[in-house]
Structure 1
């Protein structure tokens, strides 16, 4: 299967257990073509340089060589995808690879993290939402209004400093709205 080791096989194992079927997966062999693809088609700077620029990266991991290669890859991507449509998960089509910093930044982001660790993310309306624990999926402002001690819990907890800074910024913004 494709991604079967992480999706299909665990799902099948759970379904067998729920149905009372005793099936020993340890006695079976699985082939996941996605794993083969990822191992054989590496996602490295050297591989991207070879793919987009048809060049071998010399002195990989030196800051100058990596910076030059990254720039050349970006220029090649701008040329290659200039008029290539992209369909998002909802089916909406756009042409996001343009020589525009804002558009490229938005398109190249995998996450909607507010903090770097992903403890706070943006929801579809652009509001900060807690992404862990008992308040997962709830807006930070709503939680801080309902449970004022939550702010102190985050500040005193083992969270990254930047995450704490995000909570402080939101709390101060709420205070300034009053």
Structure 2
């Protein structure tokens, strides 16, 4: 089944130095842009992360320090990437919990202004886990009847993810071929930030989703306990979480 698209959609996958959204970096990114007219365009680029790639990461994706020693930095490729994905919705496998948060961190860290607030995010892994509870390789075998060669190669993974989503639409009659529906279906919470530290409540207000203030409105805590904002801004939280907190603080200040 072909996707019904209002906007272009980017299927993407990252290979990284590790799984820490705050501290780890991208070493390879592959993107597959699918346009509403069905045209497909793929780009894959390796990135010098500016830090050693741990052996345990190289053992998974096969990319070593030697492989990326002459590769461009994210700062060098980020602006072109931002232009390429401008106006597109985003999709991936485990992308809502890892790839999108880490990509957003890289953009912010390198001073590249990109607005994700109006994008739709489709996480094919979430759809899969709600339906079958498997891995990408198993999903590819289950839905597409193919073996995933070169697993953990960004381009192989991103192509498989695209094929799996189309096969999921063919298999499940209750899945609507609509990116807004798929975005909502593949989300667990209404996240205000990508890390899930801040979510929206039923009133549309930002609410803490962790710690001693879990379930309480951010604006109320900042009004009663101003030092909590400073603690979070100095803490080991993602840049995007801090961006959301600052927007709340400024909004309330201007009232």
Whether TM exceeds 0.5 here: the answer is yes
Structure (1/2) with the larger strand percentage: 2
Cα gap change, 1:43 to 1:175, in 2 (>3 Å): same
- State which of 167, 173, 178 in structure 2 corresponds to 1:100: 178
Structure 1 counterpart of 2:243: 165
Structure (1/2) with the larger helix percentage: 1
**1:65, 1:134 → 2: CA distance?**
42
- State which of 211, 222, 227 in structure 2 corresponds to 1:149: 227
Structure 2 SS opposite 1:168: helix
- State which of 126, 129, 137 in structure 1 corresponds to 2:207: 129
CA drift at 1:146: 1.9
CA drift at 1:50: 0.8
CA drift at 1:77: 0.8
* Number of residue equivalences: 125
- State which of 116, 119, 122 in structure 1 corresponds to 2:197: 119
Give the TM-score normalised by the residue count of structure 2: 0.45
User: CA deviation digits over 1:150-169, x for unaligned, max 9?
Assistant: 21222123322222111101
CA drift at 1:132: 2.4
CA RMSD of aligned residues (A): 2.1
User: CA deviation digits over 1:61-111, x for unaligned, max 9?
Assistant: 222221221111111111111x33xxxxxxxxxxxx222111111111123
Give unpaired runs (5+ residues) of structure 1.
1-37, 85-96
CA drift at 1:118: 2.4
Structure 2 SS opposite 1:114: coil
Structure 1 SS opposite 2:149: coil
Give unpaired runs (5+ residues) of structure 2.
1-128
1:175 correspondence with 2:253 = yes
Structure 2 counterpart of 1:76: 167
Give the TM-score normalised by the residue count of structure 1: 0.62
**1:173, 1:61 → 2: CA distance?**
42
CA drift at 1:125: 2.8
**Larger-gyration structure (1/2):** 1
1:50 correspondence with 2:141 = yes
1:59 correspondence with 2:137 = no
